[in-house]
Amino acid sequence: MKKITSSCLVERSLEVISGKWKICILWKLLTRTYRFGEFKKEMPDITIKMLVQQLKQLEASGLINRKDYKTIPLKVEYSISTFGRTLTAIISNIAKWGVENEKNVNQALSKLNKNNNFI
Report pTM. Answer: 0.85
The number of beta carbons lying within 10 Å of the beta carbon of residue 90 is 13
Q: pLDDT at position 101, please?
A: 95
In whole angstroms, how large is the CA radius of gyration of the chain? 16
Q: Output the pLDDT for position 2.
A: 61
DSSP code for 4:
P
Tell me: the pLDDT tens digits for 28-80?
999 999 999 999 999 999 999 999 999 999 999 999 999 999 998 889 999 99
- Cβ-in-10-Å burial (0-12, 13-18, 19+) of 17 comes to middle
Name the DSSP letter for residue 117. Answer: -
Break the chain into its structural domains and give their ranges.
Answer: 10-86
CATH number for the domain whose boundaries are 10-86: 1.10.10.10
